[in-house]
A and B are shown apart, each in its own frame.
Chain A
Amino acid sequence: MTATGVNEKPGNHQNPAASRVVLTARDLRRDFGGFTAVNNVNLDVYHAKVHALIGPNGAGKTTVFNLLTKFLQPTSGKITLLDHDITNMAPARVARMGLVRSFQISAVFPHLTVLENIRIALQRPGNLAVQFWLPLGRLDVLNDRAMELLTSVGLENEYDSQAADLSYGRKRVLEIATTLALDPKVLLLDEPMAGMGGEDVGMVAELIREVAKTRAVLMVEHNLKVVADLCDHITVLQRGEILAEGDYATVSNDERVKVAYMGTDHD
């Protein structure tokens, strides 16, 4: 299965450029009144790698996501995307630079069709978003590319259904396909597997693996099996601070992590 049709060179994940850092956070901190939700967080997200952010509920994972995508403004710290300082940028601008996120609750446009959902993402790069005087038929030029994306994720037969009528897992797939339509450099997925049945998890995991060959992925995930299978690098958060970092073996053998997150004996 090919997830995208975009610049996929075989063996790209092995080439030296693949190990470059695309997104960094330095000393990230966010206060809500007197409460410090995120403190002293440093992250390096690499091209063509899957990076997981895990931690118990309330650890600040979603807040970190909101800070990185600028939906929240950090109290202090610095964020860079592809060597540009984005610390004070508007969220839509950050998205246009190639840092695109998903949301914990599935983010589709429920009362639009599947095809229209994808086309929304294609409209802006296609320069067809502000024309209030043109008929809708003008958007048909985007249909080929939209169907290509839908076919790559196996949603081509549902193109005319309302997004609201899709199953939960398929909504997630549609959401990822919509995100891919922007050809992002960095993909931030907030609990992509949450609330999914077994086969859907496999389908989405496969899709993420495919996607990560050509771009960086940072994901929040609770399903540790998925994390173990999929992720190259793991950051564990606890009470807004980084508790441990490394690959799955390192992190899962860390005593502090066992105690704080997985219970004393997680097997």
Chain B
Amino acid sequence: MTEITMTPETRQSAHRIQLALLSVLIIGLVIAPFVLYPVFLMKVLCFALFASAFNLLLGFTGLLSFGHAAFFGGAAYFTAHAVKEWGFPPEAGILLGVVGAAFMGLIIGFFAIRRQGIYFAMITLALSQMFFFFCLQSEFTKGEDGLQGVPRGHLLGFIDLSQPLNMYFFVLAVFAIGVFMVWRIVHSPFGMILRSIRENENRAISLGYSVNLYKLAAFVMSAALAGLAGGLKALVFQFATLTDVAWQMSGEVILMTLLGGIGTIFGPIFGAAFVVTVQNYLSTTGFPVTVLTGLIFIVCVLVFRRGIVGEFNASRLAAKLGLRSRN
């Protein structure tokens, strides 16, 4: 791959094009609820945020977690319980979900980072399955029924979230903040160290970095952001169920991230939008969704491993636009 040398002028125009694309995306998301079904859009945004949080770990730190459903679904339970049973306002309920997910991330991460590769993935899977069975048995999750009829409440006491449009723009704002946080973490001094660990862990150690602390920090941040997505989803759908903590959910977020493009900011967003859309269409036809997602997974791994956004970034067009990612 030849690197295109960029003069300050082309760099500046590339910057302008990137800003233009971003504005188009934002305007599209603002107009979207007037054209499309808002609940569908909110579902996309929740999963897009979840996948972005997951990608912080897989794409930018090089850690494949197979237990992210625990943080997503766990936060959904925490938020739903706090709002429904304790009468928390929505913002406090979501905050509780985030803190809960971060705490779980600390515990699961603490054990998982001791091993690498497939063993790391297996430990996260095992611990998240333990959490799944805890949720299945425990009182507060209401077992198979789940927590239903969670009120959306009033944001800051005066914005009525039971109005679909109000809820949509609240979700959009939280989504934007969440993705911005991922972007900020990745493009920060800390993010550079995470990338160095992904690139060559032993070298990072030999330069004096206690890589386990960095990995744990990244794990907790990823878990917290996944919790943000989960808490939000509990308010959107007004329920929290076992589906969100099941291992299939961990698999789905891997698929979304892989399909969209590992290690790119926009990849997980497009991947999540694609998967959620496909699921929505198929749910009315009776065609088994898992068969299709399995096929998509195989095609993705065989033909375009960089994912939708990753392949685009590697294309000539993207190079002209100055979008080539150098990660």
Contacts and interface: CB of A to CB of B under 8 A. Distances in A.
Nearest to B207: A121
Interface residues of A, number: 43
A247 B285 CA distance: 81
B109 to A, nearest CB: 16
Given A111-B326, A112-B196, A132-B184, A103 B189 contact: no
What band does the interface of chain B fall in when counting residues whose beta carbon is under 8 Å from A? Answer: 20 to 34
B192 to A, nearest CB: 6
B133 interface: no
B188 A129 contact: no
Contacts of B206: 69, 91, 95, 100-103, 107
| Residue among A124, A128, A130, A132 with the highest chain B CB neighbour number at 10 A | A132
B202 A136 contact: no
B15 interface: no
A90 B210 CA distance: 9
B58 to A, nearest CB: 15
Interface in A91-146: 91-93, 95-96, 100-103, 107-113, 116, 119-121, 123-124, 128-136, 138-139
A128 B189 contact: yes
B327 A100 contact: no
Nearest to A178: B207
A255 interface: no
A126 B184 CA distance: 20
Given A111-B326, A134-B188, A129 B205 contact: no
A161 interface: yes
B206 to A, nearest CB: 5
A133 B188 CA distance: 7
A113 B326 contact: yes
B163 interface: no
B201 to A, nearest CB: 10
Interface string B104-132: 00000000000000000000000000000
Nearest to A117: B196
B191 interface: yes
Given A95-B206, A107-B203, A120 B185 contact: no
B199 interface: yes
B310 to A, nearest CB: 13
B187 A108 contact: no
Given A136-B187, A165-B3, A108 B205 contact: no
User: 5 smallest A-B Cβ distances: which pairs?
Assistant: A132-B190, A95-B208, A109-B199, A107-B203, A96-B208
Interface of B: 3, 5, 184-185, 187-193, 195-196, 199-200, 202-211, 217, 221, 326-327
